């Protein structure tokens, strides 16, 4: 039996008590041509160059991380290829005093927040010091257990609200994460308490091998916000202008007491899930090729070329600059002396309990392990 075989006629006694609609925002088409009158910030097209720079840097850095992994200089790494507009815009639009709670694919957002490339390399290179950011000091480290940080985000937002600070917590995770209870629970209290939190669902269409349609029968992920009584909207996450427009509106609203917001950013994971995944096993190559036609970096570049006089020379210079910045960070990363093994005890508690001192001493005596 299909749903249409069921009698869905509404009984005469029933009346609609709630209804909703989900909006989708897009300004640029896949070729960077303007589809609708631009928001105020984009009317001076040059003002988008700093964001574009962040996107390009993120892409150059991402490619470097993959090659470092391939040559054994980095552990498993999750590429953000194709999601640069979504991610860079998040970091670009937040205020320094806000708090970002990222998952593991949000490198571009972290970079835009001021996390150093060397720190990111240390983290994926298996060194805890990579999560000890010099800037931004209040941001959370990468969250690996999917969606658990959505709950931390409402805790952070509660603290901000409690102290009446004009700050916002921004939680970023994938489409797969929206299937977890944590996500619903977080949105639920965010609605009840009108917390200053923005949830960004970076819907890259895949959760490892699980396609978006296998996560949820809902037409959009944005509408999951509706059940929690908060606003949800969809945006073309590969359109940096649309993404920036939505983020700025959501941040301003949350910062000024308007409550929480959910943004579903439609994007695409152009790479494998991680460096230990092989997407060819489960994903059609044709789909990936089609997605390349909508990718965000080229799209913004074409907009800038058309509207802001961005030239091939500008592009070449930017590429060279980014490559140099990345090489510099890699050199710094390679030069970081290893942690002593007893470091595993040194941040466990404010002061090491007596019971653990003998274990620390044992590790100290043994010295570094030689494989």
Partner 1 sequence: MTELTLVEAVTRALAWEMNADPAVIVLGEDVGLNGGVFRATAGLQERFGTQRVIDTPLAETLIAGMSVGMAAEHLKPVAEIQFMGFIYPTIDHILSHAGRLRTRTRGRLTCPMVLRAAFGGGIHAPEHHSESTEALFAHIPGIRVVIPSSPARAYGLLLAAIRDPDPVVFLEPKRLYRMLKQPVADDGEALPLDVCFVLREGTDLTLVSWGAMIVETLAAADRLAAEGISAEVIDVATIAPLDIDSILESVARTGRCVIVHEAARNNGVGAEIAAELADKGLLSLLAPVARVTGYDTIMPLYQLENDYLPDTARIVAAARQTLEVT
Task: Point out the residues that are catalytic.
Answer: 269, 273, 282
Complex with partner 1: residue 27 or 133, whichever CB lies closer:
133
3-class DSSP state of 170: strand
Residues 6+ apart with CB under 8 A from 295: 82, 238, 268, 270
Q: Which stretch binds partner 1 (CB under 8 A): 13-21, 40-48, 224-232, 336-344?
A: 336-344
Complex with partner 1: residue 185 or 314, whichever CB lies closer:
185
Q: Which of 165, 316, 356, 361 binds partner 1 (CB under 8 A)?
A: 356
Exposed, middle or buried, 43 (CB in 10 Å: 0-12/13-18/19+)?
A: exposed
CA 323 to chain centre: 22
**Nearest alpha carbon to residue 321 among 120, 61, 47, 13:** 61
How far is residue 241 from each of residues 90, 157, 170, measured CA to CA in Å? Answer: 12, 26, 19
Q: Tell me: does residue 206 bind ligand TPP (CB under 6 A).
A: yes
Interface residues for ligand TPP in 82-111 (CB under 6 A)? 105
Quickly list DSSP for 300-342: HHHHHHHHS---HHHHHHHHHHHHHHHHHHHHHHHHSPPPPTT
DSSP symbol at 73: S
Q: Tell me: does residue 149 bind ligand TPP (CB under 6 A).
A: no
Give the pair of three-digit tokens for residue 303.
């907009």
Binding-site partner at residue 290 among Mg ion, ligand TPP, partner 1, none, CB < 5 to 8 Å by type: none
In the complex, minimum distance from the CB of residue 102 to ligand TPP, in angstroms, rounded to a whole number? 10
Q: Tell me: does residue 173 bind ligand TPP (CB under 6 A).
A: yes
Q: How far apart are CA 69 and CA 79, in angstroms?
A: 11
In the complex, minimum distance from the CB of residue 20 to Mg ion, in angstroms, rounded to a whole number? 24
Complex with ligand TPP: residue 183 or 303, whichever CB lies closer:
183
Partners of 212 in the beta sheet?
none
The CA R_g of the chain, rounded to the nearest whole Å, is 22
Number of residues that bind partner 1 (CB under 8 A): 44
Q: Tell me: does residue 207 bind ligand TPP (CB under 6 A).
A: yes
Binding-site partner at residue 179 among ligand TPP, partner 1, Mg ion, none, CB < 5 to 8 Å by type: partner 1
Q: Which of 28, 65, 112, 146 binds ligand TPP (CB under 6 A)?
A: 146
| Helix, strand, coil fractions of the chain, as percent rounded to 5 | 50, 10, 40
Q: Which of 127, 175, 239, 264 binds Mg ion (CB under 5 A)?
A: 175
Q: Tell me: does residue 125 bind partner 1 (CB under 8 A).
A: yes
In the complex, minimum distance from the CB of residue 347 to partner 1, in angstroms, rounded to a whole number? 9
Number of residues that bind Mg ion (CB under 5 A): 4
Exposed, middle or buried, 325 (CB in 10 Å: 0-12/13-18/19+)?
A: middle
Binding-site partner at residue 173 among ligand TPP, Mg ion, partner 1, none, CB < 5 to 8 Å by type: ligand TPP
Interface residues for Mg ion in 194-213 (CB under 5 A)? 204, 207
In the complex, minimum distance from the CB of residue 76 to ligand TPP, in angstroms, rounded to a whole number? 10
Q: Which of 23, 192, 208, 356 binds ligand TPP (CB under 6 A)?
A: 208
Q: Tell me: does residue 99 bind Mg ion (CB under 5 A).
A: no
Q: Which residue is nearest to Mg ion (CB)?
A: 174
> Residue 234: what are its φ and ψ, rounded to 5°?
-110, 145
Give the pair of three-digit tokens for residue 19.
């209804």
Contacts with ligand TPP by CB under 6 A lie at 105, 144-146, 173-177, 204, 206-208, 269, 273
């Amino acid at each position: 039996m299909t749903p249409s075989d069921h009698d869905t006629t509404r009984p005469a006694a029933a009346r609609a008590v709630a209804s909703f609609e989900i909006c989708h925002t897009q300004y640029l088409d896949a070729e960077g041509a303007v589809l609708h009158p631009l928001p105020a910030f984009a009317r001076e097209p040059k003002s988008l160059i700093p964001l574009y720079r962040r996107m390009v840097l993120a892409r150059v850095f991402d490619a470097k991380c993959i090659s470092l992994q391939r040559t054994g200089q980095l552990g498993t790494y999750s590429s953000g290829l194709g999601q640069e507009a979504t991610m860079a815009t998040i970091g670009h639009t937040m205020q320094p005093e806000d708090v970002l709670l990222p998952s593991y694919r949000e490198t571009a957002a972290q970079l835009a927040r001021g996390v150093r490339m060397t720190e990111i390399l240390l983290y994926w290179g298996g060194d805890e010091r990579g999560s000890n950011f010099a800037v931004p000091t209040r941001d959370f480290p990468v969250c690996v257990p999917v969606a658990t940080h959505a709950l931390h985000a409402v805790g952070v937002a509660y603290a901000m609200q409690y102290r009446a600070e004009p700050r916002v917590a921004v939680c970023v995770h994938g489409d797969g994460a929206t299937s977890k209870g944590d996500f619903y629970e977080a949105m639920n209290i965010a609605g009840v308490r009108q917390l200053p939190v923005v949830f960004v669902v970076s819907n890259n269409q895949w959760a490892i091998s699980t396609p978006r349609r296998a996560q949820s029968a809902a037409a959009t992920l944005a509408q999951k916000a509706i059940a929690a009584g908060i606003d949800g909207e969809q945006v073309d996450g590969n359109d940096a202008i649309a993404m920036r427009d939505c983020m700025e509106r959501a941040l301003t609203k949350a910062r000024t007491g308007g409550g929480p917001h959910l943004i579903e950013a439609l994007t695409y994971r152009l790479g494998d899930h991680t460096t230990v995944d092989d997407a060819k096993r489960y994903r059609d190559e044709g789909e990936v090729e089609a997605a390349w036609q909508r990718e965000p970096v080229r799209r913004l570049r074409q907009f800038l070329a058309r509207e802001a006089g961005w030239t091939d020379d500008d592009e070449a210079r930017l590429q060279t600059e980014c490559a140099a910045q990345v090489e510099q960070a890699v050199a710094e990363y390679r030069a970081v002396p290893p942690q002593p093994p007893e470091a595993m005890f040194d941040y466990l508690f404010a002061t090491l309990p007596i019971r653990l001192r003998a274990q620390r001493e044992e590790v100290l005596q043994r010295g570094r392990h030689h494989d």
